[in-house]
């Protein structure tokens, strides 16, 4: 996939503009606080309907303005297409080729992978950070997963309400319970399959780019115990068993105590958990390898090259790692958007970012 151009209005500190991009490397250079992350965020937001650094949409609207919009035209292996998102303080509207569509149909159309300094959170943060990240990634390539997750979260809320109100003897409860188990096991199964596939690629990428003497793996950690090579019926069975064993406690506490919303994803470097044992540099390298692996997963599943966004590469990696990354990306046929405070050794379309204005660097010189 390739983003041809973007238009945005009232996005963070950016001055309204229309920018045409290179099919390969696009580099945004500028001092701190000028808008480099914001332009990458605008691209990401336009592609996914979400920000990569906040869940509060209102933060994206320029100070003292009450609405914001972004429009991209892009092409995939078939044709040229467009996506737009408009937002005010109350609602968000999504369009595809000029026609309004719901978010469910919007998400996953333009595949994009981002790497930002805050992503280190994926290792150091709480399990919910990892769950929402992997949920988003699986949903990007699997629309059934997206729907299952949405429905599961609805049922989870209802189930919790029944438990809180001690209404579990109501005949409807057992209907919700069956749905809870059915959707929960489908989600767990998709996550196990995803982890199994990406784990192999993750290790290869880590060894190729950063350290060929270490083994990196990703493990799905479930409250159901070891789940390798398991089928969906067996997961259902385990969930039912778990339900029986914790039901009294659930009624006591008034909410669900098992299911995929309790599970976690662990990064293991040489079989030790990265969160507790890996150095800062290793953690960054693990996450970068993860992002490259996501790219590989999207290519495998969708047969399309996703867009890759890298924020603040210069402050993230030392020069050896940075050079390895750039060397690697030069060999990949993907469109890349990078921000940096210093110039990089790549053949790129360069933009200078200065107080929210984005200038074509070559024209400036």
Ligand X SMILES: Nc1ncnc2c1ncn2[C@@H]1O[C@H](COP(=O)(O)OP(=O)(O)OP(=O)(O)O)[C@@H](O)[C@H]1O
Residues at the interface with Mg ion (CB under 5 A): 37
| Interaction between residue 352 and ligand X (CB under 6 A) | no
CB 72 within 8 A of CB 267: no
CA distance 150 to 271: 33
Q: Among residues 30 and 306, whose Cβ is nearest to Mg ion? A: 30
Q: Among residues 103 and 359, whose Cβ is nearest to Mg ion? A: 359
Give the number of other CB atoms < 10 A from CB of residue 276: 8
CA distance 245 to 76: 50
The one segment of 56-64, 72-80, 91-99, 210-218 that binds ligand X by CB under 6 A: 56-64
Q: How far apart are the first and last CA of the chain?
A: 30
| Interaction between residue 87 and ligand X (CB under 6 A) | no
| Interaction between residue 59 and ligand X (CB under 6 A) | yes
Task: List the single partner that 254 binds among Mg ion, ligand X, none, CB under 5 to 8 Å by kind.
Answer: none
Task: List the single partner that 32 binds among ligand X, Mg ion, none, CB under 5 to 8 Å by kind.
Answer: ligand X
Reference 359, options 62, 60, 17; nearest CA is 17
SS3 of residue 310 by DSSP: strand
- Pinpoint the alpha helices (H) of the chain: 36-48, 103-106, 121-124, 127-141, 143-164, 171-209, 232-253, 274-277, 280-302, 313-316, 319-330, 361-364
Candidates 26, 48, 62, 350; binder of ligand X (CB under 6 A) is: 62
Q: Among residues 267 and 351, whose Cβ is nearest to ligand X? A: 351
| Interaction between residue 63 and ligand X (CB under 6 A) | yes
CB 254 within 8 A of CB 164: yes
Task: List the single partner that 30 binds among ligand X, Mg ion, none, CB under 5 to 8 Å by kind.
Answer: ligand X
The one segment of 54-62, 86-94, 122-130, 298-306 that binds ligand X by CB under 6 A: 54-62
Provide the minimum distance between the beta carbon of 3 and Mg ion in the complex, in angstroms, as a whole number.
Answer: 20
What separation in angstroms does the CA of 196 have from each of 275, 287, 319, 351? 20, 17, 32, 39
Candidates 108, 202, 312, 334; binder of ligand X (CB under 6 A) is: 312
Candidates 7, 27, 29, 38; binder of ligand X (CB under 6 A) is: 38
Provide the minimum distance between the beta carbon of 60 and ligand X in the complex, in angstroms, as a whole number.
Answer: 6
Q: Among residues 259 and 356, whose Cβ is nearest to ligand X? A: 356
* DSSP assigned state of 11: B
Q: Among residues 92 and 168, whose Cβ is nearest to ligand X? A: 92
Provide the minimum distance between the beta carbon of 59 and ligand X in the complex, in angstroms, as a whole number.
Answer: 6
> Residue with structure tokens 């960054």?
284
Contacts 24+ apart (CB under 8 A), 100-105: 103/49, 104/143, 104/146, 104/147, 104/150
| Interaction between residue 185 and ligand X (CB under 6 A) | no
| Interaction between residue 55 and ligand X (CB under 6 A) | no
Provide the minimum distance between the beta carbon of 38 and ligand X in the complex, in angstroms, as a whole number.
Answer: 3
Residue 181 phi/psi, 5-degree rounding, is -70, -45
| Interaction between residue 95 and ligand X (CB under 6 A) | no
> Residue with structure tokens 């929210």?
356
Q: Among residues 61 and 138, whose Cβ is nearest to ligand X? A: 61
The one segment of 35-43, 81-89, 246-254, 288-296 that binds ligand X by CB under 6 A: 35-43
Exposure on the CB side of residue 276, measured as CA atoms within 13 A:
6
Q: Among residues 52 and 194, whose Cβ is nearest to Mg ion? A: 52
In this structure, the dihedral spanned by the alpha carbons of residues 31, 33, 38 and 41, taken in order and rounded to 10 degrees, is: 90
Which residues lie near ligand X (CB under 6 A)?
A: 12-13, 30, 32-38, 59, 61-63, 312, 341, 353
């Amino acid at each position: 996939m390739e983003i041809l151009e973007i238009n945005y209005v009232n996005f963070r500190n950016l001055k309204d503009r229309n920018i045409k991009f290179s099919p390969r490397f696009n580099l945004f250079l500028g001092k701190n606080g000028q808008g480099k992350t914001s332009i990458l965020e605008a691209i990401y937001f336009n592609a996914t309907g979400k920000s990569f650094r906040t869940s509060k949409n209102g933060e994206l609207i320029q100070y003292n303005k009450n609405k914001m919009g972004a429009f991209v035209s892009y092409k995939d292996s078939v044709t040229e297409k467009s996506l737009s998102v408009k937002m005010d303080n109350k609602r968000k509207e999504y369009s595809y080729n000029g026609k309004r569509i719901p978010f469910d149909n919007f998400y996953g159309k333009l595949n994009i992978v981002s790497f930002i300094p805050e992503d280190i959170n994926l290792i150091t943060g709480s399990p919910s950070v990892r769950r929402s990240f992997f949920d988003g990634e699986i949903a990007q390539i699997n629309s059934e997963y997206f729907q299952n997750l949405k429905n599961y979260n609805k049922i989870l809320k209802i189930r919790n309400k029944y438990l809180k109100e001690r209404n579990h003897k109501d005949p409807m409860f057992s209907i919700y319970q069956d749905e809870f188990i059915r959707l929960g096991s489908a989600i767990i199964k998709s996550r196990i399959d995803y982890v199994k596939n990406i784990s192999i690629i993750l290790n290869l990428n880590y060894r190729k780019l950063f350290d060929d003497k270490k083994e990196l793996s990703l493990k799905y950690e479930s409250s159901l115990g070891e789940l390798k090579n398991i089928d969906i019926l067996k997961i259902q069975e385990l969930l039912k068993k778990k339900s029986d064993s914790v039901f009294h406690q659930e009624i006591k506490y008034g909410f669900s105590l098992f299911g995929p919303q309790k599970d976690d994803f662990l990064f293991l470097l040489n079989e030790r958990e990265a969160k507790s044992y890996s150095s800062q540099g290793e953690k960054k390298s693990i996450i970068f390898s993860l992002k490259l692996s996501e790219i590989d997963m999207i290519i495998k599943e969708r047969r399309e090259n996703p867009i890759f966004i890298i924020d603040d590469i210069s402050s993230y990696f030392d020069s050896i790692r940075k050079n390895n990354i750039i060397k690697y990306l030069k060999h990949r046929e993907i469109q890349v958007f990078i921000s940096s405070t210093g110039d990089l050794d790549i053949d790129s379309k360069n933009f200078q970012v200065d107080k929210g204005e984005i200038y074509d660097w070559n024209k400036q010189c």
